[in-house]
Amino acid sequence: MRLTAQAPRRPKMVVAEGVPLPAPVGGWDAISPLANMPVDRAVQLDNWVCRPGWIEPRRGAVIQSTGLGQSNSAVQTLMAFNGFNGSRQLFGVAAGTIYDCTSPGTAVPTTITGLRNSRLQYTMFSNASNIQHLIACNGDDGVFLYDGSSWTSAVITGTGIDPTKFIAVTAYQQRLWFVQDNSTDAVYLTTIGGIQGAAQIFPLGQLMTKGGYLMAIGRWTIDTRQTVDEYIAFITSRGEVIVYAGTDPTTASTWQLVGIYQIGAPIGRRCTLRISGDLQIITIDGVVGMSEMLSTDRAAANRVSLTSIIMNQMALAAQQYKNNFGWQLVEYPLGTLAILNIPIQETAFQMQFVMNTITGAWSRFIGIDPTTNQPSSKFGINANCWEVDAADNIFYGGNNGTVYQWNIGSGDGPNQICCIVKGAYNNFGNAAQLKRYTMLQALITASASVIPSIGIDVDFKNAATLSTEQPVIGNPALWNQVKWNQFKWGSAPGVTNNWLSPQGLGHYVSIWTKVTTKQNLNYPASVSQLQLNGWNITAERGAFI
């Protein structure tokens, strides 16, 4: 049989190609150009927590204590007492009264009432008898002591010293140091290990070349691997940091000036936090570490600050809200997080910039108005102050006479948590070529049914149309919280990877993903595991336009 030769078939052309994109584990980026942002960062990252390898929704809060003042009383201070014997207590301050908030339920007033203001600064300190004390002051009412069983007023005396003006306190080299309100003088107790008694003024005005007054005092440790040196840093309202070393400020041989450094003006009395020995300071230039200031100057501080990657948003927040009470930086070791609290409207609305202390990746905690899908402080974590106790539980004081325990449950009480991420823009390797984006897939690992809302933006337009989502409710399958043989246990974590067909034509593309979590009313503390691992997207390449 004769065979007829056939023309070879032309191979079918591939009209679409796929690109895998990682989750934005590098965090929120508010400094890079939109057209040249690293692929593992995000243009917007609200209510997500960055982890090495994925991002996950932040957790919610449950009520710890109620009845601090009235329903409109802001809880402006939280203080944790951590005793040597493992005992711990939590105190909240609202409406001029210190309340015991240790046990869940209604807060219990202590004997300290009638305060002129509820904005106390405090430290833990062990006296010469090795009894642990909580020392607190507010610039109006004197100094208060708590020894694990009762509150008392400290008696502090000295020439020209008025303890009612003490507004901040720090322990350094077994000695208590105080900041006086609107003064250039620091004050220290003359007795090592003393918690009250004779005090001495330590004048700093002659070293303050830029004027202002003393704002805060912090401790700063430098580890050179050969020696570990401890310093005391006096921070002025104009951003001068006067650093001393030594043990006895009355003896020149054991007390010396180390140097004077210039940073941006500090924001608020609660502007300092020690992280790994370094002294971090909230300033109008960002959160600046003193160790970085040894090798740079203020002009370069933004580039070496903790907040360098979110520099623009940090600067904007400082400009708009720096005069509001409520700025605070708190470390949460159990969650490997550092939380920067920012008061948008004093004692009303707040937001948080949050950093993973392992990776340095930032995100933002703010509410999302469910009617507009736009960021709104009215639906976020409205916290005036934060505190972490000895058991690594974290709490915040609300604007409504209530103390909350955070990082527990899947909702802010009855409010849902809307988690929105807008990834970095991607040009598929060629910015000049037009692309039509055809398919989109979010890669999510979850222990509950998840239907995320996803979509795309092209060419830097903020006009994505998102698919319909389904809220994720906390998984109630918690040990010792359900009845045996009367509950269907939650399934093992699974993968959600459904494909959708987005609509978009452009040179650059950014992927939106929205997940909403919701409190389980029967089990408020329950959560569901959910991880966003990345995305897959396909596109057809077109002409160079």
> What band does 84 get if pLDDT is binned at 50, 70 and 90?
confident
Average pLDDT of every residue of the chain: 89
Position 298 scores a pLDDT of 64
DSSP per-residue letters across 377-437: GGGS---SEEEE-TT--EEEE-SSS-EEEES-SSSBTTB-EEEEEEEPPB-TT-TTEEEEE
Position 481 scores a pLDDT of 45
DSSP state of 38: -
Position 227 scores a pLDDT of 72
Can you give the pTM of this predicted structure?
0.92
Spatial separation of the C-alpha atoms in residues 532 and 476, rounded to whole Å: 21
pLDDT tens digits, residue range 401-411?
Answer: 999 999 999 88
pLDDT tens digits, residue range 409-442?
Answer: 988 888 889 899 999 999 988 888 999 999 999 9
| Report for 193-202, 444-453, 512-521: range of highest mean pLDDT | 193-202
> What band does 479 get if pLDDT is binned at 50, 70 and 90?
very low
> What band does 252 get if pLDDT is binned at 50, 70 and 90?
confident
Q: Taking the CA atoms of 127, 217, 304 and 329 in sequence, report the sign of the dihedral they define.
A: positive
pLDDT tens digits, residue range 201-217?
Answer: 999 999 999 999 999 99
Spatial separation of the C-alpha atoms in residues 59 and 49, rounded to whole Å: 9
Spatial separation of the C-alpha atoms in residues 77 and 89, rounded to whole Å: 14
Is the confidence at residue 271, as pLDDT, over 60? yes
Spatial separation of the C-alpha atoms in residues 218 and 233, rounded to whole Å: 5
Spatial separation of the C-alpha atoms in residues 56 and 401, rounded to whole Å: 30
Mean pLDDT of 362-375: 74
Position 521 scores a pLDDT of 83
Percentage, residues of the chain above pLDDT 70? 88
pLDDT tens digits, residue range 498-534?
Answer: 888 888 899 999 999 999 998 888 888 888 889 999 9
Where in the chain are the domains?
Answer: 17-58+420-544
Cβ neighbours for 446, distance < 8 A, ≥ 6 positions apart: 472, 493, 494, 496, 528, 529, 530, 531
Length of the chain: 545
Is the confidence at residue 28, as pLDDT, over 80? yes
Percentage, residues of the chain above pLDDT 90? 70
